Amino acid sequence: MVFGWRSFELYPPQVRVAGAIPIQVPLTDHTFDLYAMLATVTDRTRLIFVCNPNNPTSTVVGPDALARFVEAVPAHILIAIDEAYVEYIRDGMRPDSLGLVRAHNNVVVLRTFSKAYGLAGLRIGYAIGHPDVITALDKVYVPFTVSSIGQAAAIASLDAADELLARTDTVVAERARVSAELRAAGFTLPPSQANFVWLPLGSRTQDFVEQAADARIVVRPYGTDGVRVTVAAPEENDAFLRFARRWRSDQ
């Protein structure tokens, strides 16, 4: 299985549990390097994961680049497009992933109700793909993982999709504000298309995390790569920005 790295942290262990070999391709500018991923494909490759937007780096592969990549991948290799944060994509960067599913039998799109729909505790999502792919999934998925309550909540969320997704506009506006103020304070960060921002702090990651905790600010560290910071309510974002400016001025 081929995927960019750093990405969703469960990819490597899940691949190993399945008895497969994870091929982790380094990101370029915090984004999936599709050309490098394509170069790693061999006759043993069976699955490619594209996390789009990528978690935790917040970046997105644009529509044209993704379409060219899908065209270039051999048709017998399954391409899974993980769109957990797709509702937060703006600026014309949202790929037509469902169009790719219709045009290519080897593309499957994965989505969740845990993020924009706010149903994280119910653990419910869905896959969209060719009937043969979905039939294969039916044979191996863990049964009884979705409760009747979860199903009812998901259906209700779809019925209220316009109202729920309108809330993403508020998050996107705060995302732009937080990103701009962090850059003004001297931080370097990639353009976010998710509901979080990525600070590639390198060796300074642990110090940032510890000082943030002392200031009652919780961020998500990823080794010595950096931290993921959720875009929250304006007052919570303000508290984080005050800390971030103070930390930066001490460096």
Domain with CATH 3.40.640.10 in the chain: 2-159
Average pLDDT along the chain, 251 residues, taken 10 residues at a time: 98 96 98 98 98 99 98 98 98 97 98 95 95 94 88 94 90 99 99 99 98 98 98 98 98 89
**Upstream peptide bond of 131 is cis (omega within 30 degrees of 0):** no
Rounded Cα distance, 121 and 242, in Å: 31
For CATH 3.90.1150.10, the residue range(s) in the chain are 166-249
Q: Which CATH architecture has domain 166-249?
A: Alpha-Beta Complex (3.90)
What distances in angstroms separate CA 50 from CA 78, 101, 107, 160, one per listed residue? 11, 14, 11, 28
Q: What is the pLDDT of residue 38?
A: 98
pLDDT score at 143: 83
Q: Does domain 2-159 have CATH number 3.30.70.260?
A: no
